[in-house]
Amino acid sequence: MSARYDAHVLIVGGGATGGGLAHDLALRGLRVTVVDRGEVTSGTSGRHHGLLHSGARYAVGDREAGVECIRENMILKRIAPGTFECNDGLFVAVCDEDLEYLEPLVEGCASADIPVQRLTAAEALALEPNLNPELKAAVRVPDATVDPMRLILRFFATARHNGADIRPYMEVIGLLRHDGVVTGAAVHDHVTGKEGEIHADVVVNAAGPWSEKVAAMAGAEVPMTPSPGVLLALRGRYCNMVINRMHKSGDGDIVVPQRGLSIVGTTSWVVEDPDDLSVPEDHVERMYTEGSKLIPALRHAERRAAWSAARPLVGAAGAATGRELSRTFQTFDHAEKDGIEGFVTITGGKSTTLRGMAELCADVVCRKLGIDEPCATRDTALLPHTAYYSEAVAA
Amino acid sequence: MSATSELPGAAEREQPGPIHHKGPGPSESGWLDPRGRGHGGRALALHRITGLVIVFYLYMHLGVLSMLLIGRSAWSSFLSVVTAKSFLALEVVLIAAVLFHGLNGIRVAFVGSGIAVTRERALFWTGTVIGTGAVIFAALHILGAL
Amino acid sequence: MSQEERHPGGPNVTQTGQDDTRRFRIYRYKRGDGGERFDEFEVPVGPHTTVLDALRWIRQHKDPSLALRFSCLHASCGTCGMQVDGREELACVCSVQDHGQQITVEPLANLPVLTDLVVEMNGFFARFPHEHPIIRSSGASSESNGEVHLEGTHEVTLELPSPVPLHHHPLHHQHRAAPPAVDFVRLEDCIECGLCLSACPVAATSHDYVGPAALAAAERLLEEPRGVKREDVLAWAGRPEGVWRCHVGLECTRACPAEAIPAERIMALRRELTFGGPDDEEDKR
């Protein structure tokens, strides 16, 4: 399918944001190119535990975020069936203190229209026999499990099918500017070692925690606070549902099944450089401790992997752990913000809301280009992830 | 897509890349590479090698038997070569090859038709014990008798 | 909390006098300059350093042109497959402590190299049976589960389920009923990493052999059809380049990082083809 419009959008960053945006713009008929210095989803997007949020976790403090989440949750399950383990999730109270969170959680969900059901301890244990037998109460919400990379590949596959050009291993080494307008990017191709230029009418910075670095290439300021957290993968599938701790967000309060593994997450700290992430052993130990409060068998489960990923939090430095910063996303049109035309940054956000983020950013991009096309991603089925590999890489 | 032509390396990305294969030599020899192989892969390699050895021996054997057509003296000089100890040692090697190929073949037949999949390891070690025992027995009799 | 002082090593290198370095010998290939070569790098490592940690350290500190494929960092996505000292591994869970002073890293075998340690996976996926769902029931059942049909030029003939209005959702707090019947689903074990195809000695010789991953996917369709006909699966698997090309090397199961047991599944397919009856009900395991 060839593009309806001549306008060319270059997206820097092949993660969830880049994929969602490429799909949206390609559907609207624009010419799209996506570049990433590595494989698609090799940044933060591929590394999370695989939770498709119901929004319950946010509904208590932030009704907007909760509403957004459940809406996107339902849309994704509709447009990408066969990619999610739609087994729902539990919020589990393991001590009396946790029970104080029960009413706020249920009310928060109700006010955000997140389907929620109270369960007795017995009902929860019947669903998930490996749970802590001392649990007091539980609440069931429509969480789901997803393979993060494969979901995002579906967006890229569909975008490519609709004419987008997806180029992993092509690193942006500078942005081309002319009279205060960004006209494209200088790129280094890691497949051949050659360099070249890509010209575009709008360049979108979708580089996640690296957004600040990319924006600086245009002389724009995007304050990012990369906030890593440690995740731990343990051998053994100890649950089918997502298991959340019924309390305010804290370390190690979620266990997500991923095929034959159980993923325990996570912690939070802040760094300057998203490429320099360590995996502190005390954080790994904390995952074991907190995770086994939810599922005791995890205490002795074998470690398969421990890794960290940097959340792309928007906001100035000065935060201590990163948990204070909002998870909402922001779109910056640098023409308004910095007087630089042809350059837009979209950053922040949660993986669950990738389609919604892309819709808003695509609206901004189309407005800049004077193109009047409505978003069609809400109701368009995505190709299977295997379709990403079925056309020639350089099609 | 006209945007494609401006991308550096576009033409090179479209070409088929080299296939990296195991081991040195042409890719078809990848099965010979012993690095990182388990008992199954080594058995497969040995099965192919012993198969070739046996085929080679068969042709040689037929060729040798055709010497009978030449006459008694040719046959006698031939026998003096093949009854030498060094040659008999090769016979033991041949017996080992035939035993390995046969016993492994039985194992592959059972596993490969889905009959004995979970007990494959047991089959492998049983075959190894039987085969090793038979080769030692053969060696003792062929070489020890002299 | 305080950040550990950055130590110029891979992740997990602590300050406690770690003095361990390894020499990595890495396959390099850039298109256009034609040459394949090996580069060597000294990398500081720690007790939990993985091969992927070391490779990313090299890319970050020594050579940014080193092309790597990875995504999840925990053996879930299957993208970081490579040969480490000649043996197929997922680099993200391959500990350097299991290897010696010099570690040789090469791309997977039997697939074309795109660049450096990255292979083109198109050929891998092209071998799979046409229908290739990745969600199954937790127990084996023959309920179809959102199957997608890909035909010819990948026209999607998927029917979108109509959106369930939230207030009709079975879990909605106003429609509280008994907990819904338990019918969990799960992702298939196979993570499509290609280690099995690389390890297979037959795949080295026969370039049209579909390979263990594809055959295992077919066998899983026998286990749980999800709308696919049994005779179609058996016809697909029974071709010369299907199950009969396998020579019981068993290297595939050995290489598999995800318990997809491809060798056992191939043998199950062969059993069905050799002894299996025509009736669906008869041969349920």
| Tens-place pLDDT, residues A234-292 | 999 999 999 999 998 888 999 999 999 999 999 999 898 999 899 999 999 999 999 99
Is pLDDT of C11 > 70?
A: no
- Whether A225 has a pLDDT exceeding 50, the answer reads yes
Number of alpha carbons in the 13 Å side-chain half-sphere of residue A171? 18
For residue A326, the model assigns a pLDDT of 56
Assigned domain for C285 exists: no
Residue B24, domain member (yes or no): no
Ramachandran quadrant class, C36 (left: phi over 0; alpha: psi -120 to 50; beta: rest) = beta
Nearest to A37 by CA among C47, C49, C118: C118
pLDDT at position A36: 97
Task: Using pLDDT thresholds of 50, 70 and 90, give the confidence band for residue B117.
Answer: confident
Asked if B9 lies within 8 A of A196 by C-beta distance, the reply is yes
Q: Is C251 part of a structural domain of the chain? A: yes
Q: Are residues C83 and C140 in the same domain?
A: no
Instruction: Indicate if C65 and C201 belong to the same structural domain.
Output: no
Average pLDDT over residues A366-391: 93
Say which residue, B18 or C8, is predicted with more confidence. Answer: B18
Query: Of A66-70, A190-194, C174-178, which gets the smallest average pLDDT?
Result: C174-178
pLDDT of residue C144: 31
- pLDDT for the residue numbered B135: 92
Q: Kindly state whether residue C53 falls inside one of the protein's structural domains.
A: yes
Percent residues over pLDDT 90 in chain A: 81
Could you tell me which chain A residue has the CA closest to the CA of B4? Answer: A165
- What's the CATH code of the domain at C56? 3.10.20.30
Name the band, by pLDDT with cuts 50, 70 and 90, for residue B1. Answer: very low
> What pLDDT is attached to residue A320?
54
pLDDT digit string (tens) for C133-166?
899 886 532 233 333 322 222 333 334 444 444 4
Check CB contact under 8 Å for A110 and C186.
no
Model pLDDT, residue A316: 66
Tell me how many domains chain B contains: 1
Q: Is residue C10 part of a domain?
A: no
ipTM above 0.95, yes or no: no
pLDDT of A158 strictly over 80: yes
Provide CATH code, domain A86-144+225-313: 3.30.9.10
Task: Provide the mean pLDDT of chain A.
Answer: 92
> Residue B115 pLDDT > 70, yes or no?
yes
Q: How confident is the model at residue C182 (pLDDT cuts 50, 70, 90)?
A: low
pLDDT grade, residue A327 (50/70/90)? Answer: low
The pLDDT, as a whole number, for residue A323 is 57
Nearest Cα residue in chain B from C115: B17
The count of residues in chain A is 395
Chain A, nearest residue to B14 by Cα: A394
C158 shares contact with chain A (CB less than 8 Å): yes
Residue C109 sits in the same domain as residue C130: no
Using the structure block, give the residue that is written with the tokens 């000649």.
C86
Interchain CB distance below 8 Å, B6 and A195: no
User: Is C26's pLDDT higher than 60?
Assistant: yes
User: In chain A, what percentage of residues exceed pLDDT 70?
Assistant: 95
CATH code of the domain containing C235: 1.10.1060.10
Residue C103 lies in a domain: yes
Chain A hits for B7, Cβ within 8 Å? 33, 165, 167, 170, 187, 189, 196, 198
Residue B17 contacts A where some CB pair is shorter than 8 Å: no
What is the token pair recorded at A301?
Answer: 């489960």
Distant-in-sequence, close-in-space partners of C96: CB < 8 Å, separation ≥ 6? C22, C45, C49, C50, C51, C54, C103
pLDDT tens figures, C65-92 = 999 999 999 999 999 999 999 999 999 9
Select from C120, C139, C164 the last residue of a domain: C120
Lowest mean pLDDT among B88-97, B128-137, C31-40, C150-159: C150-159
C12: left (phi over 0), alpha (psi -120 to 50) or beta: left
Q: Which part of chain A has CATH 3.30.9.10?
A: 86-144+225-313
CA distance C275 to chain A (A): 31
- Domain count of chain C? 2
Question: Which has the closest alpha carbon to C105: C39, C19, C43, C53?
Answer: C39
- Cα(A231)–Cα(B101) distance, integer angstroms: 50
pLDDT of residue C55: 97
How high is the pLDDT of residue C164?
A: 44
Q: Is residue C45 part of a domain?
A: yes
Helix H or strand E encompassing A288: helix A281-294
For residue B90, what are the domain limits? 38-144
Look at residue A26 and tell me whether its pLDDT is greater than 80.
yes
The dihedral through the CA atoms of C204, C207, C209, C213 has a sign that is positive
User: Residue B33: which pLDDT band, with cuts at 50, 70 and 90?
Assistant: confident
Report the residue of chain A nearest C259, measured CA to CA. Answer: A260
**Cα of B2 to nearest chain C Cα, Å:** 22
| Beta-bridge mates of residue A244 | A91, A254
Whether residue B6 is contained in a domain is answered as no
Structural domain for C204, as ranges: 125-147+183-275
Cα–Cα distance for residue pair A354/A362, rounded to 1 Å: 12
**Dihedral of the CA atoms A339, A341, A347, A353 (nearest 10)?**
130
- Judge if C104 and C132 occupy the same domain: no
User: For residue B103, is pLDDT > 90?
Assistant: yes
Vertex A178: Cα angle to A173 and A183 (nearest 5): 60
Choose among C30, C147, C184: nearest Cβ to A193. C30
**C-alpha–C-alpha distance, residues C92 and B111, integer Å:** 33
The tens digit of pLDDT for each residue in A160-216 reads: 999 999 999 999 999 999 998 999 999 999 999 999 999 999 999 999 999 999 999
Do C130 and C69 reside in the same domain of the chain? no
Tokens of C283: 């041969």
Backbone angles phi, psi at A262, to 5 degrees: -120, 125
- Do C196 and C115 lie in one domain? The reply is no
Of A85, A110, A118, which is closest to C187 when you measure between CB atoms? Answer: A85
User: What is the per-residue pLDDT for B108?
Assistant: 93
A-chain residues within 8 Å CB-CB of C73? 46-47, 305, 307, 309
Q: Is A8-45+149-223+325-389 a CATH 3.50.50.60 domain?
A: yes
User: Of A193, C46, A238, A217, whose CA–CA distance to B9 is shortest?
Assistant: A193
